Amino acid sequence: MTAATDLRGFAVRPYSPWGIVRELAIVAAGLLLLSLVIKLHWMTNFMIFFILVLSFDLLYGFMGHLSFGHMLYFGAGAYGTALWLVYGGKSPLIALAVGMLAAALLAAGLGRIVMRTHGAPFALINMAFNEIGHFMIQSPLSGVTQGEDGLSCSADNIFGIINLYKDGWAFGFAAVMLLAVFALLRVLTASPYGILVRSIKENEQRVKFLGYNTFRYKWVTFVIASTVAALSGGMFTLVQGFISPRVISPFGNVDIIFAVLIGGAGTLYGALIGGTVFMLIKNFLPVLIPELATLLNMKLPQWEMWLGIVLLVIVFSVRKGIVGAVLAKWRQRPCGSTT
Amino acid sequence: MIDIRHLEVAYGHARVIHDLNLTLSPGEMVFIVGRNGAGKTTLLKTIAGLLKPTQGEIVFEGRPVAGEPPDKLARSGFRFVAQDKKVFSSLSVRSNIELAAHGAGEPVEVAWKKAVEIYPKLAEFRALPAGRLSGGQREILLIGRALVGNPRLLLIDEPTEGLAAIVIEEIFRILKGMRQTVSAIIVEQNLSIVKRLADRIYVMKEGRIIREINDQSGITDSARLENYL
Amino acid sequence: MIQTVIYGFTIGAILYFFSVGLSLTFGTMHIINFAHGMVYALGVYLFITFMEYFGNSFLLSLIVSLAAMLPVAYVVERFVIRRLYGESLDYAIIATYGVLLIGTDFIKLIWGTTPYPVNDPIGLSVPLAGLDLPVYRIIIVISAVLLFLALRLFFKRSIIGQIVIASLEDSDGVRCLGLDVNRYFSIIFVLGSALAVLGGILYAPISTAEPYMGFHILLLAFAVVIVGGMGNINGTFVAAMVLGMVMAITGRFWSQASSAMVFVVMALVIIFRPMESD
């Protein structure tokens, strides 16, 4: 079976170095197009979110583990970076590295517990840890994190030149990081390691019988996904200059799941598309709904309810997501049979 | 009584049963033999409604039933006994029968009496959690469960698999007692049982029926049968 | 200290009421039902509203709220849960979470976001052995024990109970006997939801209602179900009581950490429990 024949393994096609460059170019083009429509500042936030969604796609789309606590690592990265900037040094890149390291260590430790489960317990345990993390930031560690009040931090320019508080630079920085992450994941998922991870998702027993230590592969994937999420969190800190416990709140997980579902899990491109759609909805609905409410002169539920409704709709009808649906249509070309 | 035509069953993209045709007349006991992986279990499960065919028809007493859910088929008189000999292990032996009686709309006492008639030792195990039974006893319990309520069609998957010779003889005795009164399609690899009970034999290989043996000499000819396994 | 122990059992009792439905739904249908939290929260808010309406009559409000929530549970089962049978677990989680979000926002829409305190209907303390025992909390604990016994009886004696137990192990086997398993699952679902509502109402007088209460108890209930074993009816009771005690004792020394400590215990259980196969 070639990787190319697998519907969900769209991004697991074999690649060549030029192929990667081509794909990156497509992604970059998409980003540029989008930024014509959306303010630069928003684009930066979009891209930071994309990185987060990509990291989740690795965990859920490729490895098949749905976590309801991924925000823990986003938050760990965000707070790690912020705390370094406040108590350590001012270099943004080092701060970012610190944030990622903190999350990686956390994921490495928790991963040993968490990767022993899958399915329902996995989702819930991660959610529980997310809650614990949230609580820790708010309460016991509040001496350091300022708890509910939030933490302000500032960083120097990268290499002395790149000032992340300027929209243009921030955009460029986020874009570069996004492309780098995309390239990394694209290569990773198409590599023998990636194929092994996907095989574990399909049939773990069989992979075990082949002699692989599946636990270790799952654990490594978990750490990678968490670290990338932390990268996203750290970038958020750098660009915003202020974070609050909200960055580690379990509620944020819905956003990620929504984005992945809407775009199509396991395709990497789906993460980008889904992320785009979601961010558009999230940024425009809160404006539209109240306007609509005044227009119709009635009290309308907040946009979160619409989110819930859309989630239901997606699960019950558009399950494969946009990319999945497109691929399905594409595979039904007349020449081959669909079996 | 049951007429299967051009049946195709697939797991996802992998086709397991191809263009399969099979018939059964009332009161017949038909056996299906073949190697492991030939698709025998899949066939039984499909007839029982646990799997849906991708193509083909299953006609039962003139009515097309392919794709109907298993509980509806059970109410039409189908009974399926699975290969893994799974009983309701946390329920007592009697409760197992009770559930069957409830499903068949038969009074519990009648069902229990009938089960004990077939296998008197069952009375001893009345209150025992069914999980504590041995493999052979479970199979007998399952057959007892299946016979509750006068089923029209029995589908039994490898009844003697993994059982000791003495238990196999017990099961043979029970199946023999059922002959002519119940119609059955039985998957079996134990040729001694097949030879002594079969009205007809179907041989399956790689998802197809490659041979039908309906003459007595063919059925008792061990060498020929063994060729097919 | 006695107060803390009683409080621990009280929390355990409420957790038990809530978790029974969750555990059963998972054991029978293999669906994690986030919407369970919505049913709980909505039931409590309705109760509070009816209390005002019926002039603080506890019993009447309880009955009416329960009656009002039964159709809600049925609708959730019919239009959401039933469609999720046999589907991948992930979709079940996401869909029911969607229902929870909708419900939470609905509550915010109608009742606003400020928390609602309710009053202890009995408000008595019984002096016993030199201490004041809160009568109401003891009633809650006794109710939970009664429920436990009632459920044990139900599952051991009634035919529906036996069918459910059999289905927990081998639902196909039950179907092949001619029983419409899904119908029984629906019944169990509504029953579980009713118990959650009941638990919520019992708890209301000694707690406050806020729109996100469904989420919070859901998390704790997940811990209960994981520790007690999914679909394990007896385990749920024990786990609920133990975790309730954990919360109470932690709460005495470090009040904000009580929830977090539950998850720590859960994590420890997972680490030290022999790994189960699928």
Q: Burial of A308 by CB count in 10 Å (0-12 exposed, 13-18 middle, 19+ buried)?
A: buried
Does A339 lie at the interface with B, CB-CB under 8 angstroms? yes
Does C278 fall in a domain?
Answer: no
DSSP C240: H
Number of domains into which chain C is organized: 1
Is residue A314 situated within a structural domain?
no
Q: Is pLDDT of A306 > 90?
A: no
Measured between alpha carbons, how far is A72 from A230 in angstroms, rounded to an integer? 9
**Predicted model pTM:** 0.81
Q: Which domain holds residue A34?
A: 7-250
Of B44-53, B182-191, C124-133, C141-150, where does mean pLDDT reach its minimum? Answer: C124-133
pLDDT of C127 over the 70 cut: no
Instruction: Tell me the residue ranges of DSSP E strands in chain B.
Output: 2-11, 14-24, 29-34, 55-60, 63-64, 78-81, 153-157, 183-187, 200-205, 208-213
pLDDT grade for A221, boundaries at 50, 70 and 90: very high
* pLDDT tens column, C37-52: 999 999 998 888 888 7
C90 and A302: CB-CB below 8 Å?
Answer: no
In a domain, A266, yes or no: no
Question: Measuring CA to CA, which residue among A112, A96, A59, A10 is closest to residue A253?
Answer: A59
A273: in domain: no
How far is CA A170 from each of CA A157, A165, A176, A275, B63, rounded to the nearest angstrom? 11, 7, 10, 19, 70
Percent of chain B with pLDDT over 90: 18
Which of A8-12, A292-296, C119-123, C249-253 is predicted with the least confidence, judged by mean pLDDT? A8-12
Three-state DSSP class for C133?
strand
How far apart CA A137 and CA C77 sit, in angstroms, is 38
Query: Please, which residues bridge with residue B3 across strands?
Result: B23, B59
- Domain containing C180: what range? 2-272
Q: Give me the mean pLDDT over the A110-138 stretch.
A: 86
Whether residue A42 is contained in a domain is answered as yes
pLDDT band at A300 (very low <50, low <70, confident <90, very high): low
Residue A291 lies in a domain: no
Counted domains in chain A:
1
Q: What contacts C104, CB < 8 A, 6 or more positions away?
A: A304, C38, C41, C211, C212, C214, C215
Return the pLDDT at C131. Answer: 55
Q: According to the model, what pLDDT value does residue A15 have? A: 64
Q: What is the pLDDT of residue B229?
A: 64
Q: What size, in residues, is chain C?
A: 278
pLDDT(A302) > 70:
no
Mean pLDDT of chain B: 87
Q: pLDDT tens-digit profile of A41-57?
A: 788 889 999 999 999 99
Say how far apart CA B161 and CA B25 lie, in whole Å: 26
Could you tell me if A56 and A282 are in contact, meaning their C-beta atoms sit under 8 angstroms apart?
A: no
Q: For residue C84, is pLDDT > 80?
A: no
Mean pLDDT of B124-145: 88
Q: Taking 70 as the threshold, does the pLDDT of residue A100 lie above it?
A: yes
Least confident of A204-218, B141-155, C147-161: A204-218
Q: Are strands B208-213 and B200-205 parallel, antiparallel or unpaired?
A: antiparallel
List B31's β-bridge partners, or say none: B186, B201
Residue type, C72: V
Alpha-carbon distance B196 to B199, whole Å?
A: 9
DSSP letters of A297-312? Answer: TS----HHHHHHHHHH
**For residue range A245-258, what is the model confidence (pLDDT) as tens digits?**
888 988 889 889 88
Substitution target in A138, A315, A320 with the highest count of C β-carbons within 10 Å is A315
Q: Residues A231, A51: contact at Cβ < 8 Å?
A: yes
pLDDT of residue A14: 63
- Report the distance separating Cα A279 and Cα C212, nearest Å: 24
Q: Is residue A169 part of a domain?
A: yes
At residue A338 the predicted structure's pLDDT band, cuts being 50, 70 and 90, is very low
Per-residue pLDDT, A50? 94
Residue C209 binned pLDDT confidence (cut-offs 50, 70, 90): confident
ipTM of the complex: 0.86
Of A144-158, B137-151, C58-72, the least confident: A144-158
**Type of residue at C208:** T
| The two structure tokens encoding residue B128 | 């025992």
pLDDT band at C130 (very low <50, low <70, confident <90, very high): very low
Rounded Cα gap, residues A299 and A293, in angstroms: 6
**Per-residue b/e over A248-262, b at no fewer than 16 CB within 10 Å?**
bbbebbbbbbbbbbb
Q: Residue C277: inside a domain, yes or no?
A: no
* Interface subset of C 214-243, CB within 8 angstroms of A: 219, 222-223, 226, 230
Residue A313, in any domain of the structure: no
Candidates C36, C258, C263, C276, partner chain A, best to mutate (most A CBs within 10 A): C263
For residues A281-285, average pLDDT: 78
Cα B205 from Cα B203, distance rounded (Å): 7
Q: Give the per-residue pLDDT at B96.
A: 92
Q: Residue A336: pLDDT above 90?
A: no
Write the CATH number for C23. Answer: 1.10.3470
The helix/strand/coil state of A103 is helix
Residue A219 maps to a domain = yes
Q: Which of A230-239, B168-177, C26-35 shows the highest mean pLDDT?
A: A230-239
- Report the phi/psi class of residue A160: left, alpha or beta, with left for phi > 0 and alpha for psi in -120 to 50: left
Q: Does the pLDDT at position C196 exceed 90? A: yes
User: For C95-122, how does the pLDDT look when each residue is reduced to its tens digit (9 = 90+)?
Assistant: 888 888 888 888 888 887 777 776 655 5
The number of beta carbons lying within 10 Å of the beta carbon of residue C45 is 23
Of C166, C175, C178, the CB nearest to B88: C166
What type of residue is B142?
A: L
**Phi then psi dihedrals of residue C87, to 5 deg:** -80, 170
Question: Chain B partners of C159 at a C-beta cutoff of 8 Å?
Answer: 98-99, 102
**Is the Cβ of A317 closer than 8 Å to some Cβ of chain B?**
no
Distance CA A51, CA A271 (A): 9
Q: How far is B207 from B55, CA to CA, in rounded Å?
A: 14
Shortest CA distance from C180: residue in chain B? B71
